[in-house]
Chain A
Amino acid sequence: GQQVMQIPQYQHVQEGEDFTTYCNSSTTLSNIQWYKQRPGGHPVFLIQLVKSGEVKKQKRLTFQFGEAKKNSSLHITATQTTDVGTYFCAGPQNYGQNFVFGPGTRLSVLP
């Protein structure tokens, strides 16, 4: 069925190392959203990308939306302990009929 996948499922990095998570959809997404959920918390919106090939930056975070609007990535430069959490991509598949979340990538940062 229609679904959104993310890799890796888990990532452990040393503080200061870079981190990337990839999001792949089985169908075209109208837009892609990224959320962060801290342990014990709730998802918090980070950003939304709408245009094919779009790239946005938020300080150490860089978000990309693929040309085919079926994949996306989140890259964190020089991770910090405050980056710990699970990063989810999400978007409306099937021309907005279904809004689905990826399974998330859980990031651990070792001090």
Chain B
Amino acid sequence: ETGVTQTPRHLVMGMTNKKSLKCEQHLGHNAMYWYKQSAKKPLELMFVYNFKEQTENNSVPSRFSPECPNSSHLFLHLHTLQPEDSALYLCASSQGPSGGSGSSYNEQFFGPGTRLTVL
């Protein structure tokens, strides 16, 4: 499946590093998402973008900074992370709009994820 791609697939970084995760979708969708999946918690929705506009930010620490330059690309900029931020970071896309009062989420297509380790 190549509908949603993520790079890099694996990343090891120190707590003082700055890195970025990239996601690209080739499905013509309007909504894109960042999720965090760790062993001890359910899949957590971090950010939602509809038509390049951020519509949800679920109390994510400021050391995670998303960027959505267009409907096909999504970035997650990382800086001064903590070891507990080590997890699988998944990107997803769907036909929008999604989120917000009175709307509903459509089927989401996930990328393969980036396995992040913070030392």
- Residues of chain A touching chain B, judged by Cβ–Cβ distance below 8 Å, are 4, 30-31, 33, 41-45, 48, 88, 90-92, 95-104
Set A4, A48, A91, A99: member contacting B99, Cβ < 8 A? A99
Query: Is B61 interfacial (CB-CB < 8 Å)?
Result: no
A99 to B99, CA, bound (A): 8
- Looking at A43, A48, A90, the one whose CB has the most chain B CB atoms below 10 A away is A43
> Quick check: A43 and B42 within 8 Å, CB to CB?
no
With A43-B43, A101-B43 as given contacts, are A92 and B105 in contact (CB-CB < 8 Å)?
A: yes
| A77 smallest CB distance to B (angstroms) | 24
30 pairs, CB–CB < 8 Å, chain A vs chain B? A4-B42, A30-B104, A33-B105, A33-B107, A42-B90, A42-B111, A43-B90, A43-B92, A43-B110, A44-B110, A45-B107, A45-B108, A45-B109, A48-B106, A88-B42, A88-B43, A91-B105, A92-B105, A96-B99, A96-B100, A96-B101, A96-B102, A96-B104, A98-B45, A98-B58, A101-B42, A103-B41, A103-B42, A104-B42, A104-B43
| A12 smallest CB distance to B (angstroms) | 19
Shortest beta-carbon contacts, A-B, top 7: A101-B43, A42-B110, A103-B42, A30-B104, A45-B107, A96-B103, A43-B110
Query: Is B96 interfacial (CB-CB < 8 Å)?
Result: no
Q: Which residue of A lies closest to B103 (CB)?
A: A96
Contacts of A33 in B (CB 8 A): 105, 107-108
Query: Is B66 interfacial (CB-CB < 8 Å)?
Result: no
Could you mark each residue 59-100 of chain B with 1 if its beta carbon is under 8 Å from any beta carbon of chain A, else 0?
A: 000000000000000000000000000000010100000111
Q: Is the interface of B mostly helix, strand, loop or mixed?
A: loop
Contacts of B100 in A (CB 8 A): 96-97
| B97 smallest CB distance to A (angstroms) | 10
Given contacts A43-B110, A103-B42, 17 further A-B contacts (CB under 8 A): A33-B107, A33-B108, A42-B113, A43-B43, A45-B107, A45-B108, A48-B106, A48-B107, A88-B43, A90-B43, A96-B102, A96-B105, A98-B58, A99-B99, A100-B45, A101-B43, A104-B43
| B41 smallest CB distance to A (angstroms) | 8
